[in-house]
Structure 1
Amino acid sequence: MASLVATPGPSVLRAPPRLVKRQARSQARKAEPGSLTAFLEGLLRYRDNAHISVRDLLGGLETRAFGIPLAVLAACEVVPVPIPGFSLVISVPMAMVGAQMIVDRDRLWLPRSLLNRRVPASALKRVARAMLPTVRRIDGLTRQRGVVLTGTAGRRVAGLAVLLLALLIALPVPGTNAPLALTVLVLALGLVRNDGLLIAAGLLLTVVAAALMGVASVALVNMVFGTGL
């Protein structure tokens, strides 16, 4: 009697269970509510003619997880927003976030006047579209690791790095803001994902950035004033 149970033909290929599970975990991390990917996707839902307050942009500040606000601020410098004086608007709250990480505050605080400032949604959507492909890939690769750097002491060290980078971004040295903001973004993603490896990479980049900024500043002074520093 012929068997009634259908068997898959030789052309049907199945991925190994371990690979399927890994891909599922990767997709889940990309879509989870607390990820930067979900935040940037949320920005794309705004209408182009809308204006978003800094308070709404930073998620209402109803969390002690400072990673998302830092990532948002850094992304706006990695992909420059064509608004005069925007770098100063970015560096001031970035420095304040870093300072509050150093003292390990429970909640992020920023002045009401700053929180009520409004930014065109069209400019922010441009940033979101440019950043999303890269952030999706990073979100898919990161995981919780390196507990030493994701604890209180690690957050304080990261806060010190953020404060230094924010001060460097505020300096009028041409062509340096994007690399400095990218370093802040690496630190922010490490904080969001509790990934000590990313935080360590961000700290290393901070040291390199500070050294390069020192060299660039000396060169700029020499060029402007003709001194032999």
Structure 2
Amino acid sequence: MLGSHYDGHDIAQGAIDPASGVVVVLETARILAKHATELDCTVRFALWCAEEIGLLGSTAYTKTHADDLDNIRFYLNMDSCGHGINDIVLNEWAKLQPYFENYAQEMIHDFVVEQSLHTFSDHYPFFMEGVPTGSMTPIRHKQKGRGYGHTMYDTVDKVPLPNLHIASALASRLALRVACQQNFPVSRRTQESVITILNANSEYHEEQLLQERINAFVLDNVK
């Protein structure tokens, strides 16, 4: 499953965050639709609302489709992924590391794979439900601070068209491999395992508490 949020801030066009990720999700869907009958698994695409005020769209999806979460082999988050040269961040799924590194070798595509977690994008509700998750994001070329995102300078001229092409190609090829991978090495975690990961890292635990406070505030005050 691949997804990105489509809500942005009204101070700019939101070309990087979120539109570049939306474009890559849609282009990946267009590419893979041509090969739908050849896939061993269904590849699902989603665009989320209200990410910026508390991950409300993706959270609602995980609650509404709770009975279907066991069937999600992997969720790849595409938030703002179209503006740079992307790598892969896995959200504390060590068993997937060699698989994605092998994908890079098979594809002769220069991306690195790291393990990390944060609470502030739409992978997080899936992570909290135990679904294997990761994101496409620049690691080696990461800029300091937020860059243009969430500023008045987040305009379409900041998104090079070749980067959208590269990101869409990478997402398509990864989705194809995950969908067709025999004996995928991980499955959905239990809630106990999720909590253990959060409690083992004080930074993750603090971010989770902050996210809960943000969500509670939004639900109490936004009508």
Does the TM-score normalized on the shorter chain lie above 0.5?
A: no
Higher percent of residues as strand: 2
Q: How does the TM-score come out when normalised to structure 1? A: 0.26
Higher percent of residues as helix: 1
Structure number with the bigger relative contact order (C-alpha 8 A, sep ≥ 6) is 2
Q: How does the TM-score come out when normalised to structure 2? A: 0.27
- Name which one, 1 or 2, has greater alpha-carbon Rg: 1
